[in-house]
Structure 1
């Protein structure tokens, strides 16, 4: 663990390889410099390593064959921009408990600064699919929310990730998700704290129906109680969103009672005071 006096950072950015973002990696780095960031993390969607096809879902994630090229490009840009901005090599990996050992060797092969673990599917359906809620009664809604957080808990226990991505993103297109009553969120945060994994404050909620950030202020207050480390990610799929609302998030975290947040360099946590 190291400490850095002050840094403006964004650890969650995408680019054209994933098939649903605009711009090249260089565009995100240039945008970060323009906005006065000291650190920019590139964390595009990892390939679906468990499928036979090279690119099983062209509009969701990069091809398996693109993965080494992605790493090589970020490493080259890291060197090129040295002295101007620190470029970090990250990846956003889908968490599928049944395939975790399939993913691990790919990530161990390369010098990632950090890996973001994100749950994007519950019961085989995208968390952003609002149609999934239509026919569910109250009990089934609770069950769905609990399954989502059980997956997040398992991802925290897996030891594969430094950061957990957007931990209440299921509210994205279904804002009343937050009102489904269950104590599973608290249980999950306790496990995240015990396993010393960070969660991101992800400002891309503003691009969805729910508005605002992931996770909610209520969850951030609970996370602080359980000693959960926090980091920042815009989840930019467009260079214009790099560093989006960084200062507002810092202000909110201070109000909640956080004293610091962090980023990762070679999987070593770098503490930045708020």
Structure 2
């Protein structure tokens, strides 16, 4: 079973191609399921399009859903098109987001922490000059938000759970036990995490999360899934087979995809 649950398109302002471009490319690559999961609007903002180069406008939300549902029907004989969304997690506004999602037939929602201390996790230079204790505090705040996202009851998948290393690879070396605590909570809440292959496009290289995190995830019975986080059609399914092989080596025997918010486990 070949699938990719994390893809974007032109609405977010930093990806290329239409949704249909991604569906057609997935068919060409032989995928069985293609999940469309563009960045959520900033629902808490009074502005329609708070950050045009980061996410879709609020006014685009329903048209996005309708387009995916149309393509789901149009290509039903060739591929399963899944309606998803990569949702920002803001604990103070989670009910606003939840109220929006519950109105529509999503197959899954990916919960991703993109902001810590009101700064984007990929902001270059945010680590400059921080002392060791400040680095530890920042890393622990990041994982505290991930823990809260796991407990929110809104998400089926947690996105790129060590992505803060994207432009600061030394993030992985900051010593704290917070990742272990986080994985334990994710396992208890029974939420899946994705293996996201877009880390290769950042300074850190590799995947999110790193192998050592995946090994501990297995220990805590955390379910896993796959997402390329593709921002161009050609990257759909990127390194799917390599991830599949590595998960087997670590000791996983199955992984998940989602239909109508029901988790379906399939053999690796």
Q: TM-score range by the shorter chain?
A: over 0.9
What secondary structure does 2:126 align onto? Answer: helix
How many residue pairs get matched? 268
CA RMSD of aligned residues (A): 0.4
For each residue in 1:217-261, what CA deviation from the matched residue of structure 2 results, as whole angstroms up to 9, or x when unmatched? 000000000000000000000001000000000000000000100
Mapping for residues 119-268 of structure 1, pairs under 5 Å: 119-268=113-262
TM score, norm. by length of structure 2: 1.00
Give the C-alpha shift of residue 129 in structure 1: 1.2
Q: Does 1:84 align with 2:64?
A: no
What secondary structure does 2:231 align onto? Answer: coil
- What is the rounded CA distance, in whole Å, between the counterparts of 2:191 and 2:102 in structure 1? 18
Give the C-alpha shift of residue 130 in structure 1: 2.6
- What is the rounded CA distance, in whole Å, between the counterparts of 2:197 and 2:109 in structure 1? 18
Higher RCO structure, 1 or 2 (CA under 8 Å, sep 6+): 1
Give the C-alpha shift of residue 35 in structure 1: 0.8
What secondary structure does 1:128 align onto? Answer: coil
Counterpart position of 2:10 = 16
- What is the rounded CA distance, in whole Å, between the counterparts of 1:240 and 1:156 in structure 2? 31
What secondary structure does 1:62 align onto? Answer: coil
- What is the rounded CA distance, in whole Å, between the counterparts of 1:20 and 1:40 in structure 2? 20
Which 4+ stretches in 1 moved above 6 angstroms?
Answer: none
Mapping for residues 17-32 of structure 1, pairs under 5 Å: 17-32=11-26
Counterpart position of 1:4 = none
Give the C-alpha shift of residue 143 in structure 1: 0.2
Segments of 5+ residues of structure 2 without an aligned counterpart are none
Segments of 5+ residues of structure 1 without an aligned counterpart are 1-6
